[in-house]
Amino acid sequence: MLYAEIFQQSTDAIFVVDAVTTLTIDCNHRAVELFEAESKTQLLNIAGHSLQKTPFSPNELRDIQTTLNTQGIWEKEVEYVTLQGRQFWGELVAKQVQISDQAINVVWVSDISDRKVAEQRLAHYNQQLAQEVTQQSVALQTRETQFQAIFANFPVGIAVVTPPHYTFSLVNPALTELLGYSPQDLATLSIRDLSIPDDDDREWALLQDCVRGDRNTYHLEKRYRRRNGQPLWVNVNTAIVRDDHGQIQCGMTMVQDITARKLAEQALEASEARYRLLAENMTDLVCLHQPTGEYLYVSPSCQTLLGYSSDDMIGQNPYDFFHPDDCDQIRQHAHYNALVNIPTPIIYRMRHQDGRYIWLETLTIPIAGDNGQVVRLQTTSRDVSDRVQVQLQLEHDSVHDTLTGLPNRTLVVHFSAG
């Protein structure tokens, strides 16, 4: 299961959120770890913004959902509080996807606490440096030495870019290693020389906002091209440094490699697309249930097989649709067996939307959580009415005369022996 592997092994916390209720319906192991939960169960059926230091207001939630509906994606840096009370900064990215007829929001949360600390340190240092330039020239050399040490040893790529073309006038070793260029090579190149064209337009527009004075910082995810030609996804944070007259002196840019996360997101989207295609086109009825039985997902084939739409079934108890004479057998031989990891196929009757009963053969498979407990049940069902009718007819014919329909000698002998 490629989707499940990517979902669970992602280095980012991933939440699957109901777009209507905004409640979490699933999350991966990294989410449990990042938010210091005892198990995934603690994070389910809660509003994700309740984990924030300052939860979104109802108006903000509406604005977010509107953005998702119109643009398909929304992102923001948010300060969170774990279940153990620890605070951290997270980069929140939400994307709306359709699974069958259900709209869900897939939410990624990356721990950017280190980056925020680094940004704060860098901003604080720049402020100190600017103040001390005007106060004392002697202290400037000391601060410059400190800056060089931080700059040279910082684990994230840092560059000083200068107008008008924003060439790389100064770069640290982390950036040269990331891009594959030497400092001398980069000194002849600009931001635009390294950018993928589509992404270059977005960053250049932000730079022009800075030139006009509309902003002094910007943040975006974009692609650079390494020296070997390979694309590189990066997280760019740029702060503009101005002189006393408001003129731009340079831009301080931090560049963080996020290629692995982007590839995981793309693989997740491709896996979900394949899953949706499979679920929406198979003739068998595939369902996802709570351990107690209630439907969480019902494949579109339900309409053809039982006459109900998927929405009709979500949240319903399947025992309300079973033939009353079959409920105990289903509960004992299929439901309970699945909960103890003994999947057992069973043939039973289920009510069609038009009131008649059809025969189904169903296999129930348990889905375990991180703690080994069953958190979901998956069922796969197919119509075996024709097969059952043939079997019942054969059993009838074996003890009745084919011409008269009366009990034959076999049935008489059977009852006599009884």
Using one digit for the tens of pLDDT, what is the confidence trace for 309-321? 999 999 999 999 9
DSSP output for 109-172: EEE-HHHHHHHHHHHHHHHHHHHHHHH-HHHHHHHHHHHHHHHHH-SSEEEEEETTTTEEEEE-
Using one digit for the tens of pLDDT, what is the confidence trace for 180-202? 899 898 888 888 888 888 788 88
Whole-angstrom Cα distance, residue 304 to residue 281? 11
Q: Is the pLDDT of residue 86 over 80?
A: yes
pLDDT at 30: 92
List CB contacts of 65: < 8 A, sequence separation 6 or more: 19
Lowest mean pLDDT among 20-24, 39-43, 260-264, 346-350: 260-264
Looking at mean pLDDT, say which of 8-17, 34-43, 59-68 comes out highest. 34-43
Q: Is the pLDDT of residue 288 over 60?
A: yes
**Average pLDDT for 43-59:** 91
Percent of the chain whose pLDDT exceeds 90? 35
Q: Which helix (H) or strand (E) holds 210?
A: helix 197-212
Whole-angstrom distance between the N-terminal and C-terminal Cα of the chain? 54
Helices 113-135, 137-153: crossing angle, 10 deg rounding: 160
Whole-angstrom Cα distance, residue 208 to residue 70? 26
381 SS3 class = strand
pLDDT at 363: 94
Whole-angstrom Cα distance, residue 168 to residue 188? 7
pTM across the whole model: 0.37
Percent of the chain whose pLDDT exceeds 70? 87
Q: Which two tokens stand for residue 254?
A: 């931090």
Whole-angstrom Cα distance, residue 319 to residue 330? 9
Apex 234 CA angle, 233 and 239, nearest 5: 155
Structural domains of the chain, with CATH: 2-111 (3.30.450.20), 115-260 (3.30.450.20), 282-383 (3.30.450.20)
Whole-angstrom Cα distance, residue 117 to residue 280? 46
Whole-angstrom Cα distance, residue 378 to residue 288? 5
